[in-house]
Amino acid sequence: MFHIDFKKIIAFTVRQEQKFLPTHAPRELKKLYIAMTVLNFALASGILFEPIYLYSNGYPIWWMALFYLGVYSVYFFTMPLGAKVVVRKGFEHGIMYGSVFMILYFVFLLNISAHPIFIVLAVLASALQKTMFWPGYHADFAYFSQADERAREIGIIAILDAVSYVLGPLVGGIVVSQFGFSALFAGMCVVILLSNIPLLIIRERFSPGSFSYAQPYKDIVDRKNFRKTIGYMGFGEELIVLLVWPVFIYVTIQDYLSTGLAVATSTLITSLVILIVGRLADGGRQSALYHAGVIFIAFAWAFRFLVRGAPSVVMVDFFSRVSKYVFALPFFTMLYGEARNATSILRIVTHFEMSLVIGKISALIAVFAIFYFFGEVWWAAFLLGGAYSLLYFSLDGSEKREYIPTPPDAALLRK
């Protein structure tokens, strides 16, 4: 007679869970998981359709490049101010402040056709959102993640992000096709506001400090950081993914709902890969995964030349997302590990973010030149994205830098 040993099944399940999932994530990470899941669902519903909204309202890609160039130019000078706010008020306060500016951004974006002043206000709101959010988010994760399972903890964020990007584009496509962009942006604002609830329920454990505004600029020009600065600039290709690729998908498919469905399908498949990558990264294979991810990203840009319809959009978008996760999980595992070991968490974070901004600003200038002078030459944008992805090779994939202890204004935050 066939007998099922449930005890063995449960024991096997627990062993597999311990392999692929973090087992002792602190409460600070758990509430960050919940907050980011809600926030990412809101962003996933609209981030795909944000450039499509501008494009369908008569704003060409070169205009959008100028718009986002304004955002990142302001962000370059306000980023250290965000670090100063976060170090005084708390990591989670930075995330919450950022959500307020994010809501204002979508309100202004919805009204940019009414008066040019809303363009300026949208640029400022977007820049301030990044200024507050990213230092707080990166520092929070770097400070509270556990060294022995950091990749799996990042993997959980990636999985929750992937789930959001399965449902989000589909929901966004339905809302836009049935009710329009106003309904989509209004719904996003409500969900963004709700994402702060988990951060408010449990009080943040935090001791205020201070941070030097000039320090990030010194780190950028420091010759010891040259390779890292160049490598971080590779994230300019990410800007092309967020700006050019969604418009290209829309032009190829010519339907809001189908566009959302195509991206949702590729993301669903992607989420199945993330657990394995996180386990391998925690298993000491960070450098190999990192370099494999960079190669895959470069190939993903090459495959975009072959897109001819919805099926190929799904396949290429899937490969692109998998490649990004194979690269990103070991990358952020090493970045956060380096940040915890350095004199200042925020010093590492701001150097990364500001180098990334330089990459995105230069990419936006190139995108503007391509689409303004030559029209919608998609292959040139894809070639540009591939070129930027090669900058990732400037990063060693395993190298760590040690900072000489700095004055108290950049001291490591302690509970």
Dihedral angle, C-alpha 201, 202, 207, 210, nearest 10 °: -40
25-201+224-396: CATH, from 1.10.3720.10, 3.40.50.300, 3.90.79.10, 1.20.1250.20:
1.20.1250.20
Nearest CA among 96, 135, 73 for reference residue 350? 135
Using alpha carbons, list the distances in angstroms from residue 157 to 36, 125, 154, 217.
8, 25, 5, 30
- Structure confidence by residue, pLDDT tens digits, 301-343: 999 998 887 778 878 887 888 888 888 878 887 887 776 544 4
Q: Which of 27-36, 185-194, 267-276, 294-303 has the lowest mean pLDDT?
A: 267-276
CB 77 within 8 A of CB 387: no
What is the DSSP code string of 315-367? HHHHHHHHHHHHHHHHHHHHHHHHHHHSS-HHHHHHHHHHHHHHHHHHHHHHH
pLDDT at 272: 61
Confidence category of residue 407, pLDDT binned at 50, 70, 90: very low
> What whole-number percentage of the chain has pLDDT above 90?
38
Ramachandran category for residue 414: left, alpha or beta (phi over 0 → left; psi -120 to 50 → alpha): beta
pLDDT digits (tens, 9 = 90+) for 9-57: 333 333 444 444 555 566 777 888 889 889 988 988 888 789 989 998 8
* C-alpha Rg value of the chain to the nearest Å: 21
On the 0-12 / 13-18 / 19+ scale of CB atoms within 10 A, 364 is buried
Q: Which two tokens stand for residue 109?
A: 């974006």
Residue that wins the pLDDT comparison between 413 and 392: 392
Name the residue with tokens 């290429």. Answer: 316
Percent of the chain with pLDDT strictly greater than 70: 78
Distance between CA atoms of residues 44 and 266, nearest Å: 14
Is pLDDT at 282 greater than 80 in this prediction? no
